[in-house]
Each structure stands twice: as C-alpha cells, then as structure tokens.
Amino acid sequence: MDCLFCKIAAGTIPVTRLYETDEVLAFPDINPQAPVHTLIIPKAHYASLAHTSPTETALLGSLLGAAVEVAKQQGLVNGYRVVINTGQDGGQTVEHLHLHLLGQRHMGWPPG
Ligand code: AMP
Ligand code: ZN
C-alpha cells in the first residue's frame, strides 16, 4: 500500500524511533508546531480514527498510553496537548491514523 506512515512503521522510510511497541510507533513530526511535536501511530493501517471500531479498545488504549509515555520521556511536566485530526473537516492530511503530541509551549484555544 502506498501509505507514508505504513512505510515509516515498516522502516522503509527512516525516522527517529522515539517510542515503539509491537503495536505503536512514535517519531518526530517533520514540520513541528511546538518545541515538542511527536506523532504516534498504530503500526497497522487505519485510514483515520473514524476507521477504528469502539471494540478496538486495546489499540486505542495503546495509542493514548504511548502518548503518556512519550510525554514523560520528553519531560513535558507542565502538560501537553494530544490531537487527532480526523477526515477532511478535521484537517487530516496523512490518511493513516496518528496522534499529535504537542508540548513545551503554552497552547491557547482556539489553536493557532
Ligand atoms: P495531519 O494534518 O493531522 O494529517 O498531520 C500530518 C502530519 O504529518 C503533519 O503534521 C506533517 O508535518 C507530518 N508529516 C508528514 N510527512 C512526515 C514525515 N515524513 N515524517 C514526519 N512527519 C511527517
Ligand atoms: Zn498506513
């Protein structure tokens, strides 16, 4: 499948692998929007969050758990933001489910 994040998960496209389990992988965003901007993906292909089932609790939990672990690893003691852009209106540009972990700067609302 011609999917950028599947290639990254498979190691075909090299990235700094910040955190990894059998199910998930975290790596730096190539265009960071904050001093810490890490992407967390499932190794299996899901086009978006909307393509997961509510019964896939293990996978969904692993993704959030990875975000917590990476946040600790990156020293985000003042907090952080986890974002999942989903579909066209959600601003998703890469069609492989990913969480953005953003930190080390204050983030107001709405995002800018
Ligand atoms: P989204 O807009 O939520 O789909 O986010 C996609 C993210 O992937 C953007 O923040 C991009 O900067 C990031 N991105 C695109 N290509 C790469 C890459 N090769 N390595 C790391 N991050 C990437
Ligand atoms: Zn994929």
Q: Is 29 a pocket residue for ligand 1 (Cβ < 6 Å)? A: yes
Instruction: Identify the DSSP state of 50.
Output: G
CA of 108 to the centre of ligand 2 (A): 31
Domains of the chain as residue ranges with CATH: 4-103 (3.30.428.10)
* Burial grade of 31 (CB within 10 A; 0-12, 13-18, 19 or more): exposed
In the chain, the amino acid numbered 56 is E
Q: Dump pLDDT digits (tens) for 7-19.
A: 999 999 999 999 9
18 CA → ligand 2 middle, Å: 19
Structure tokens of 91? 């601003």
Q: What is the pTM of this model?
A: 0.96
Average pLDDT rounded to a whole number, residues 43-67: 97
- Distance CA(53)–CA(76), nearest Å, equals 30
| pLDDT surpasses 70 at 20 | yes
